[in-house]
Amino acid sequence: MTMLSSGFELSVDVLRQRQNVKWGKYGADVLPAWVAEMDFAVAHPIQRTMERMVADHDYGYPNRGGNHGDGTLVEAFSNRMKSRFGWEVDPSLILPLSDLVQGTFSTILALSDPGDGVILQLPAYPPFHEAINSTGRRLLAHRLHPTEDGWRHEPGSLAKLVDATTKIILLCNPQNPTGRVFEQAELEEIGRVAIERDLVILSDEIHADLIYGGAKHIPIATLSPEIAARTITITSATKGFNIPGLRCGVLYFGSAELKARFHARFPARVLGSPGITGIDTTVAAWNHGQDWLEAVLEQLDANRHRMVNFINAELPAIRTSLPEATYLGWLDCSRLGLSGTAHDFFLEHAKIGFSAGEAFDPNGHQFVRFNFATSGRILDQILGRMADAVRSNARG
Ligand SMILES: Cc1ncc(COP(=O)(O)O)c(C=O)c1O
C-alpha cells in the first residue's frame, strides 16, 4: 500500500482502487471532495481487530456480553461519554443500531405523526430533509445565518417557529455542513424551548470527535435532567474514526419513558442490529483509537486553515468561515456570478466533485460542501483547480 509521510495518508492510486462511493462516483479525471469519508488509513487497533476476526473466522452471531451480545459496545459507549464529556449514561437506555439515519427516521416515525412539525436547522445534512419530507411531516426551517462568529441562529427565532403540532427539534451538533459547535447558551435556548413547548430533541452528535482547539462539544442531554429526559442522542465512531462502511452506531434515550414511547411504535427488531465488524471496530476505536484521532485532527486542522486561507487570498468572491468541527467547509459561491449551480460549475470546469448545496438547503444552489479530509497534496490540487476554473470563468 502506498503510504505518504504522515502514516495515514493514502495515495490517489490506492484511493481509486477502493470500492467506495467517494472515489467511485466520478470518473478518473475528477477529484472527489463530497461524501463524509476521509482519505486516510484507519487506526492500527481498528485494522488489527479486522485482521483478528478474519484469522479466527469469527463470523457467528455476536456474543460480546450483555443481553443482546453487544455488551462490549454498550460499555465502550458508556466509558467514552464519561471520559470525554463527564456524561454518566444508563446502559439500559442504549440502543445499538447499524445506521444513524435509521435512528433519525425511526425517531421521527415513532414520536410524531404525519402533518406534525419537525424543526430542522438549515442548511442541513440531506437525509434529515428526507426523514421529514418522505414521512409526511412538516419541515420547519430554523435558519443559520453567516455572522463574524460563524453560522448562527437569530436569538429568539426558535420559539417563534413552534406551532401547535410541532413535536421534534432535530439538532445536528457539531453541525453538518457549517461546522458550527453550538455553545452552552445556544443549547440552553433549544432546551428551554423544548421544555416550554413539550418537544422531543433528536440530537445527532456523530461529528463530536472532530472538534478543533477552542471549541468544546457539549452533549445537549448533559445540560439538565429535564432536557435529558426529552432528548434522544445518536452517535457513532463512523465519522471520527473513518469506518462508515462498517455500519454501527448508538441511539441513546434520555429517559425510560422516552424509550417506552419509542418502542411502543417501533419495536427494536425493526431496526436490526450491528454486525460483529461494526461492534468490534467501534469498541477498538473508542477504547484504543485516541492517539490516531489526535494525529488526524492535527492534519485536519492544518487543512481547514489551508482551505480558508487559500480561499480568502485567491478566491475572495467565495465566502466561507473556519469550521470549528468536522472536515467540511460550507462555501458560498453566489458572488461568482455562475449561470448554473456551483456544484455543476466545479464539476465541469475544475473536475472536482463537491456536495451540491441544494441538497442541504432548497436555496443552496450557489453553495457547495467541501470535504477537506485528504492529504495536503490532494488538497492543494483541489484548491489549484478551483482557482484556475474561477479565473478562466471571470475572463469569460
Ligand atoms: C450528521 C450526520 N448524521 C448521520 C450520518 C450517517 O452516518 P452513518 O452512515 O455512519 O450512520 C452522517 C454521515 O455523514 C452525518 O453527517
Give the total residue count for the chain.
396
Say how many C-beta atoms besides its own lie within 10 A of residue 335's C-beta: 12
Which three three-digit cell numbers place residue 274?
450491528
For a ligand 1 pocket test, name from 21, 175, 210, 238 the mutation site with the most ligand atoms within 8 angstroms of its C-beta. Answer: 238
Whether 101 is in the pocket of ligand 1, judged by its Cβ within 6 Å, is yes
DSSP string for residues in 289-312: -HHHHHHHHHHHHHHHHHHHHHHH
Q: Which domains can be identified in the chain, with CATH numbers?
A: 12-44+290-395 (3.90.1150.10), 60-287 (3.40.640.10)
Pairing of strands 367-371, 328-332: antiparallel
The stretches of 199-322 forming alpha helices (DSSP H) are 225-228, 256-265, 268-271, 276-288, 290-314
DSSP H or E segment with residue 83 = helix 71-85
> Is residue 172 within 6 Å of ligand 1 at its C-beta?
yes
**Would you say the CB of residue 249 lies under 6 angstroms from ligand 1?**
yes
Residue pLDDT tens, the chain, 396 long: 344 446 899 999 999 998 899 999 999 999 999 999 999 999 999 999 999 999 999 999 999 999 899 999 999 999 999 999 999 999 999 999 999 999 999 999 999 999 999 999 999 999 999 999 999 999 999 999 999 989 999 999 999 999 999 999 999 999 999 999 999 999 999 999 999 999 999 999 999 999 999 899 999 999 999 999 999 999 999 999 999 999 999 999 999 999 999 999 999 889 989 999 999 999 999 999 999 999 999 999 999 999 999 999 999 999 999 999 999 999 999 999 999 999 999 999 999 999 999 999 999 999 999 999 999 999 999 999 999 999 999 887
293 phi and psi angles, rounded to 5 deg: -60, -40
Task: Check pocket membership of 125 for ligand 1, CB cut-off 6 A.
Answer: yes
205 Cβ inside 6 Å of ligand 1: no
Residue 281 DSSP class? H
Q: CA gyration radius for the chain? A: 21
* Nearest atom within ligand 1 for CA of residue 36: 14
What pLDDT, on the 0 to 100 scale, is given for residue 395? 86
Q: Probe ligand 1: pick from 21, 22, 34, 101, max atoms within 8 Å of CB? A: 101
Is 353 a pocket residue for ligand 1 (Cβ < 6 Å)?
A: no
Vertex 369: Cα angle to 366 and 375 (nearest 5): 140
d(CA 361, CA 353): 18
How do the residues of the chain divide into helix, strand and coil, expressed in percent and rounded to 5?
A: 45, 15, 40
CA separation for the pair 253, 111 (Å, rounded): 12
Q: CA 219 to CA 174: how far, in whole Å?
A: 10
Report the run of H or E that residue 172 belongs to, with start and end.
strand 166-172
As a whole number of angstroms, the distance between CA 238 and CA 256 comes to 26
**Residue 120 Cβ < 6 Å to ligand 1:** no
Give residue 6's pLDDT. Answer: 60
CA-249 nearest atom, ligand 1: 11
C-alpha to C-alpha distance for 142 and 158, rounded to whole angstroms:
7
DSSP-assigned beta bridge partners for residue 117:
138, 166
Counting from 1 in the atom list of ligand 1, the atom nearest the Cα of 326 is: 16
User: Does 99 sit in the ligand 1 pocket, CB within 6 Å?
Assistant: yes
Quote the CA–CA distance of 376 and 269 in Å, as a whole number: 44
Q: What angle do CA 240, 182, 306 make, to 5 degrees?
A: 55
Retrieve residue 253's grid coordinates.
Answer: 434515550
